[in-house]
Amino acid sequence: MKKVSAFLSCLLGGALFFSLAACAPKGDQSGDESARDSETYGRLPDGGAAQGIDKDDPYTWFEGDKKTLPSRAQCGEITVGMRLDEVIRKLGKPQRDVGYGACLFQFDVADGSVFTVTFLPDPAAASPSEYDRLSVSGTTFGMEIPDLYFPQQTVLSELYPWMLEAGDIVKVRYEQAFIGVAPYHNLRNISYSTNRTDIANACRLFSSPLHAISQSEGQVDGGGYVRYDFITAEETYSVTISNGTVWIGGQYYRFDGEMPEFTAPDENCHAFITYTPDDPYEIFTYAEEREKVGGFYGLGEFEFRVYDGLPENAPRYILKSAGGVELLILSADKFLIEGDDNTVIYQLTGDKDFSELFASTDDLL
């Protein structure tokens, strides 16, 4: 695989680390702001982060396999109002974050218990997510670690390593549709774009934040999905976000980023919703005897748009799908949808068409 292009390097530089839950760190302030922090907000005397902590890198805030655990007595010294730096200096780094919107950090204790500390941002802070201004609002002891916890917030590129290894992305394909609906009444909406701004916006998905969630949270009936295909000269890579979640490696992740649409697409088209990748269909002649031509697969591979013109000839074949779709085939690349008043003509835009049905070149319009 090629190394990430200069374009993507510029786009992604410094953007791969995100805060956990709602607690993203910010950089240090300087000048008068720094003095105000020390005097008014009670930062520790040295004003620096605890040892081994990079305030701008939440991956350094936790230590899952800590060798030396604090005692219960040491945990008892943690009181409301203490800053995160001070707690870490006393107990070492926490092992995990179990918070969604709040910051609930857990410390494993030497006696086998689990010490949970709730942190809230300083209400007087300029930003509610500054590392230095997280302070203790409550503590509890327990004996069990939850089945589901979030050691740290991850980003999409950690689940899809190709995002940082792919060659130059020359085109992006966007697909959106609703799940569990009749194919005849609803279509997949598809767009292609080679616009550099559209590609840059789509590539911001690479640094989008995610949180692991339980299977019951991730399994949702119905809803909809968005799919992005990143196309290079050698390969096409895909990401699907279904009902706001990503399923990969046997785990559901809640997608917390944005799903951009194109502002300057090269082409907009549609495709049928199919329930299986190889949705079967049959084609018959359109004559009264309806002679069967053959059985086929892959109705969902056809991409098409509305044709702005008049039909050049009458229907030659009728296609019937297992999903209930019936098409009146006019030529190798044009058709009508049966039941659609037979007035809207559609033209195929992709590589797949009905050429094999038309033996004479005069029929290929």
Average the pLDDT over 297-317 and give the result: 88
Task: Kindly tell me if the per-residue pLDDT of 363 is higher than 60.
Answer: no
Residue 206 or residue 26, greater confidence: 206
What residue ranges in 264-302 does DSSP mark as E strands?
267-272, 280-285, 292-297
Among 263, 291, 312, residue at a domain's last position: 263
Q: What's the pLDDT at 1?
A: 40
Q: pTM for the complete prediction?
A: 0.59
At 122-132, the pLDDT tens digits run 665 544 445 66
Q: Tokens at residue 105, please?
A: 């950090």
The residue type of 59 is: Y
Interatomic CA distance for residues 55 and 48, integer angstroms: 9
Same structural domain for residues 226 and 329?
A: no
Same structural domain for residues 101 and 30?
A: yes
Which of 286, 346, 351 is CA-nearest to residue 319? 286
Confidence of residue 183 (pLDDT cuts 50, 70, 90): low
Same structural domain for residues 35 and 132?
A: yes
Same structural domain for residues 56 and 77?
A: yes
Same structural domain for residues 251 and 354?
A: no
Confidence of residue 218 (pLDDT cuts 50, 70, 90): confident
Q: What's the pLDDT at 50?
A: 59
Task: Kindly tell me if the per-residue pLDDT of 75 is higher than 60.
Answer: yes
Same structural domain for residues 158 and 134?
A: no
Cβ neighbours of 200 (radius 10 Å) = 16
| Maximum mean pLDDT: which of 162-176, 187-201, 342-356 | 187-201
In a domain, 269, yes or no: no
Q: What's the pLDDT at 7?
A: 33
Task: Kindly tell me if the per-residue pLDDT of 247 is higher than 80.
Answer: yes
Task: Kindly tell me if the per-residue pLDDT of 309 is higher than 80.
Answer: yes
Q: C-alpha distances in angstroms, 346 versus 20, 175, 340, 351?
A: 48, 19, 11, 15
Same structural domain for residues 44 and 103?
A: yes
Average the pLDDT over 271-294 and give the result: 85
End-to-end alpha carbon distance in the chain: 40
In a domain, 185, yes or no: no
3-state DSSP assignment of residue 162: helix
- Report, in this order, helix, strand and coil percent for the chain, each rounded to 5: 20, 30, 50
Q: What's the pLDDT at 365?
A: 42
Task: Kindly tell me if the per-residue pLDDT of 80 is higher than 60.
Answer: yes
Same structural domain for residues 308 and 243?
A: no
In a domain, 181, yes or no: no
In a domain, 183, yes or no: no
Confidence of residue 300 (pLDDT cuts 50, 70, 90): confident
Average the pLDDT over 48-68 and give the result: 72
Largest CA distance in the chain: 92
Helix (H) or strand (E) segment spanning residue 217: helix 215-218
Same structural domain for residues 256 and 355?
A: no
Confidence of residue 297 (pLDDT cuts 50, 70, 90): confident
Same structural domain for residues 29 and 137?
A: yes
In a domain, 324, yes or no: yes
* Burial category of 363 from C-beta neighbours within 10 Å (exposed 0-12, middle 13-18, buried 19 and up): middle
In a domain, 206, yes or no: yes
Among 263, 297, 319, residue at a domain's last position: 263
Task: Kindly tell me if the per-residue pLDDT of 22 is higher than 80.
Answer: no
Task: Kindly tell me if the per-residue pLDDT of 319 is higher than 50.
Answer: yes
In a domain, 268, yes or no: no
Share of the chain above pLDDT 90, in %: 30
Same structural domain for residues 255 and 285?
A: no
Q: What's the pLDDT at 342?
A: 64
Range of the domain at 335: 280-363
Per the CB < 8 A criterion, the answer to whether 228 and 173 are in contact is yes
In a domain, 210, yes or no: yes
Per the CB < 8 A criterion, the answer to whether 136 and 235 are in contact is no
Task: Kindly tell me if the per-residue pLDDT of 57 is higher than 60.
Answer: yes
Q: Looking at the DSSP assignment, which residues form a beta bridge with residue 106?
A: 96, 116
Confidence of residue 271 (pLDDT cuts 50, 70, 90): very high
At 88-140, the pLDDT tens digits run 889 998 988 776 545 788 899 998 889 999 887 666 554 444 566 678 888 88
Q: What's the pLDDT at 254?
A: 85
Domain count, the chain: 3
Mean confidence (pLDDT) of the chain: 77
Same structural domain for residues 116 and 44?
A: yes
